[in-house]
A and B are shown apart, each in its own frame.
Chain A
Amino acid sequence: MASLRVLVGCKRVIDYAVKIRVKPDKSGVVTEGVKHSMNPFDEIAVEEAIRMKEKKLASEVIAFSCGPTASQETLRTAMAMGADRSIHVEVDANQAEIIQPIHIAKLLSKIAQEEKADIVMVGKQAIDDDCNQTAQMTAALLDWPQATFASKLEPAEGGLKVTREIDGGLETIQVKTPTVISSDLRLNEPRYATLPNIMKAKKKPLAKKKPEDYGVEIKAHQEIKKVEDPPTREAGQKLETVEELVTKLKDGGFI
């Protein structure tokens, strides 16, 4: 079981606490001068990979990110938490705008093969586009088993026993390695990187690559027509009687 190599995807996203603003031309959201951080679900994936290494289940943790130069900050964070090294697939700002889960899945599957990874671990979704596709697509491209929405991982014969969060409760499945796992919120609570580890992370290797290095073309398959603010909530009304309420609901076409 020992000496598994874990490849973890780390997406740089707008920080979860930032108030999202739509650009005036409705082409997207404002990202300039906005605090960014690692996608919280990816942070959970990184934490789990590091814990596997600490339990001697994994031999190496490789962090991966695809995005503009600033994505390297996210990789430094992953390495400060405990990832051994990282791979940055750099794209320019225009390409970064059109990146979709299929591109990341192609990159991840190529890198997984090249690095002989046994586990590809990603967050179940990124909090910016909420796609929830990368893990599934990566598993399909690699033809590996997948265990999505993981809330518990345990070593098992020839692979892992994974507890998954599903609509009706929890489901426990067993997957053989190599496998693709996506982390759910309750898998763990990520640690703080310690000050000495933040300093050491600067010296850990960070490989700089291009999509072409993996034969992946970043081409938009969809076009974003318009990004809009959610409708603002209108003021409520206080009603005196149930009859009034029923009338209002009928008028509004709700019943």
Chain B
Amino acid sequence: MSSSLYRTVSGLPRLFRKKPCLSLNQRHIFTGSCIDASDGLHDDQVQIQQMARNFADNEMAPKMKEWDQEEYFPRDVFKKAGELGFGAVYCREKYGGTGLKRLDASVIFEALATGCVSTTAYISIHNMCGWMVDEFGSDSLREKWIPKLASMETCASYCLTEPGAGSDAASLITSAKKDGDHYVLNGEKVFISGAGATDVYIVMCRTGGEGAKGISCFLIEKDTPGLSFGKKEKKVGWNSHPIRAVIFEDCKVPVSNRIGEEGEGFTIAMRGLNGGRINVASCSLGGAHASMEHVRNHFKVRKQFGQTLENFQYLQFMFADMAAALLASRLLVRNAAEALDNTAPNAVPLCSMAKLFATEECFKICNQALQMFGGYGYLKEYPVQQYFRDSRVHCILEGTNEMMRLLVSRDILKER
């Protein structure tokens, strides 16, 4: 009786009196362990990873809570990231890109995401846009845009989804009608990351007949007449960049701003998304890894029933399961990134499988980490809930995980 009364009465004030550690002052606490993120990487990849992690620790992690709560789009940090080469990681050096591979990019985005999943996710979308220009654009588009995108002085958004075209992206209806040396665009794109805050938009439009073959890709500058934005949406996570609708009303775009040939748009969109899936899965890895670091610190200091949490077998076992899921996810993501680097014929289902598995497992890890923090985990003062909220959307975007399952099953059921 008296002990239960004690718990009830003292529960809340204690929540505020004895705060477990808030910051990751023990950096890289999994170095040398079985979930060391540098395992299996080459020396230069390890150097790149360390630099990215230092950047995340110093420039991002201390601010991620503020960016989330203020819904702040950190252009200052993007500029710093651009100076270090994070703006166009896998674009060719020829036009100003960094010239690294997809695997390197995955390592970078995972490391950066430990400091803020949402901000890193935007940087990865920006990278995907730059790659589309670098891979499919004309030389003049590359020369004009890659240097600015690489430095992140210019920020980009990717516009595929429409109110009536989500998973069935090939059914999009935003139209681009050719009129002399221009195209005239009409239609609406939704769920566009960065919209309103970013400077250029990579837009998929219908230039021909129905289906995937009638789609073309355009680069549109923010101040183009006829381009406007919807209201800023309120989101569960991913709050460090806005999401708005992008609306085209007789928006005139020069023919020279078309990326690739007419009818090539859907291929560009899908090839971009293969990399995008690796990138978003990598962001999930970073969030899950950081959540586990926070949990580990918490386990070492939080005492209940006279012992620190690390001594409770249920928590130990759960933590081991989380570690196994994290490593399995990471290996799957890196394997898919390498498949993409090597243009392996099964790269598409491998990227889909990696995205499906890693985003779901890492979200579960973040959720379990939140649980392990108890009541503190639910407070916005503590970072685990933010990793949890930010990584939830990874199961939905860049192709829902249901579409990922479709792509994987289609591949294994194909007659060969």
A interface with B by C-beta (< 8 Å): 15, 17-19, 32-35, 37, 73, 76-77, 80, 192-196, 198-199, 201-202
Please measure, in the bound complex, the distance between the C-alpha atom of A77 and the C-alpha atom of B43, giving whole angstroms.
11
A33 and B86 form a contact (CB under 8 A)? no
Q: A23 to nearest B CB, angstroms?
A: 15
Give the interface SS of chain B, mostly helix, strand, loop or mixed.
Answer: loop
Please measure, in the bound complex, the distance between the C-alpha atom of A211 and the C-alpha atom of B55, giving whole angstroms.
36
B52-92 interface mask toward A, CB cutoff 8 Å, 1 = contact, 0 = none?
00110000000000000000000000000001111001000
Q: Which residue of B lies closest to A196 (CB)?
A: B85
Q: B99 to nearest A CB, angstroms?
A: 8
> In the complex where A17-B25, A76-B43 touch, is A198 in contact with B32 (Cβ < 8 A)?
no
Q: Which 10 A-B pairs have the closest CB atoms?
A: A33-B32, A195-B85, A17-B27, A35-B31, A194-B84, A195-B98, A35-B28, A194-B85, A198-B47, A192-B84
Please measure, in the bound complex, the distance between the C-alpha atom of A85 and the C-alpha atom of B84, giving whole angstroms.
21
B31 and A34 form a contact (CB under 8 A)? yes
Please measure, in the bound complex, the distance between the C-alpha atom of A44 and the C-alpha atom of B337, giving whole angstroms.
36
B27 and A195 form a contact (CB under 8 A)? no
B interface with A by C-beta (< 8 Å): 25-29, 31-33, 43-44, 46-48, 50-51, 54-55, 83-86, 89, 93, 98-100, 108
Instruction: Select which of B47, B85, B89 is within 8 A of A76 by beta carbon.
Output: B47
Please measure, in the bound complex, the distance between the C-alpha atom of A35 and the C-alpha atom of B39, giving whole angstroms.
12
CB contacts (< 8 Å) of A34 on chain B: these are 31-32
Q: Which residue of B lies closest to A199 (CB)?
A: B44
Please measure, in the bound complex, the distance between the C-alpha atom of A191 and the C-alpha atom of B98, giving whole angstroms.
18
CB contacts (< 8 Å) of A194 on chain B: these are 83-85
A198 and B26 form a contact (CB under 8 A)? no
CB contacts (< 8 Å) of B51 on chain A: these are 80, 192-193, 195, 198
CB contacts (< 8 Å) of B100 on chain A: these are 195, 199
Please measure, in the bound complex, the distance between the C-alpha atom of A202 and the C-alpha atom of B51, giving whole angstroms.
15
Please measure, in the bound complex, the distance between the C-alpha atom of A145 and the C-alpha atom of B50, giving whole angstroms.
37
B48 and A198 form a contact (CB under 8 A)? yes
B47 and A73 form a contact (CB under 8 A)? yes
> In the complex where A195-B84, A195-B86 touch, is A15 in contact with B28 (Cβ < 8 A)?
yes
A35 and B32 form a contact (CB under 8 A)? yes
A77 and B26 form a contact (CB under 8 A)? no
Instruction: Select which of A17, A18, A33, A196 is within 8 A of B98 by beta carbon.
Output: A196
